[in-house]
A = this chain, B = another copy of it.
Amino acid sequence: MFTDRFLRDRRGVRLETAERARLEEAIEEVRVVEARKRLVRAGDVLSESTLLVEGFLCRYIDDRRGLRQLMAVHVPGDFVDLHGFPLKTLDHDVATLTAATVAIVPHTALQQIEREAPDLARKLWYATLLDAAIHRAWLFRLGRLDSIGRVAHFLCETNARLVLAGLSDGRRFAFGLTQYDLAEICGLTNVHVNRVIRALREERLCLFRSSLVEILDPRRLAERGQFDPTYLYIDDSAAGALAAKD
């Protein structure tokens, strides 16, 4: 099922089987998209939203010089532009980072859910608020952490989210991002990201290769990035899988 990973293991929003089925039915089409492809441009009027099934997507804003600031990286299970349903147009672009599979849900189907299944509608709301919580963690990262801390924090977050999606064992995960991407995420230059990666490697905290991230010391990495996963609203039953990994 394409919706299998959506809202998995989040506190207080267990999706009922019927609800998941209903979402599944709402999918109009499943599409495969190549890497580095823009899916939505800021200002476009939207009539559908995108659930990420496989691969990585991002959301970003360009600055005047053409440099991007990423505002979100999406992992499988994320309802990437669900906020486009109430907002109708977005304030940013959406693009693939890697090749990806996406499920398209028309807004008419969401309207129907809203009318007929208020409980499920509330869970959709919740999902968008989770994204906002992640935005806030990113604000903390950019405003208060140094370069090593930023990268460490981001890798901890991504690891945690991928554990929930069943795509990381808590130590290693496949990831197709370049150092340049990491720079756009952390508000750094690619050159400096390279130095940070070396430092993380030399301190035996983690390894970052394009296509594979390996966390050598989860505890110390989290410490270095002041990472506290509370903002991910992970259900207690699943929290253990994350915590006991060193």
Question: A121 on the interface (CB 8 Å rule)?
Answer: yes
Question: A61 on the interface (CB 8 Å rule)?
Answer: yes
Question: A26 on the interface (CB 8 Å rule)?
Answer: no
Q: Which residues of chain B are near A142, meaning CB under 8 Å?
A: 139, 142-143, 187
Interface centre among A125, A131, A226 (most CB of B within 10 A): A125
Annotate A179-206 by CB proximity to B: 1 below 8 A, 0 otherwise.
Answer: 0000000110000000000000000000
Query: Could you tell me the distance between the alpha carbons of A43 and B233 in the complex, rounded to whole angstroms?
Result: 10
Annotate A91-120 by CB proximity to B: 1 below 8 A, 0 otherwise.
Answer: 110000000000000000000001100100
Q: Which residues of chain B are near A226, meaning CB under 8 Å?
A: 63-64
Annotate A124-162 by CB proximity to B: 1 below 8 A, 0 otherwise.
Answer: 011011011101111110111100000000000000000
Contact status A136-B87, CB under 8 Å: no
Q: Which residues of chain B are near A136, meaning CB under 8 Å?
A: 59, 61, 71, 91-92, 135
Q: Which residues of chain B are near A12, meaning CB under 8 Å?
A: 88
Name which residue of chain B comes closest to A42, CB basis.
B230
- List 17 A–B pairs whose Cβ atoms lie within 8 Å, in order of A's numbering: A11-B88, A42-B230, A63-B145, A63-B226, A69-B143, A71-B136, A83-B129, A86-B125, A86-B126, A91-B231, A114-B122, A118-B118, A132-B132, A132-B135, A135-B135, A135-B139, A144-B187
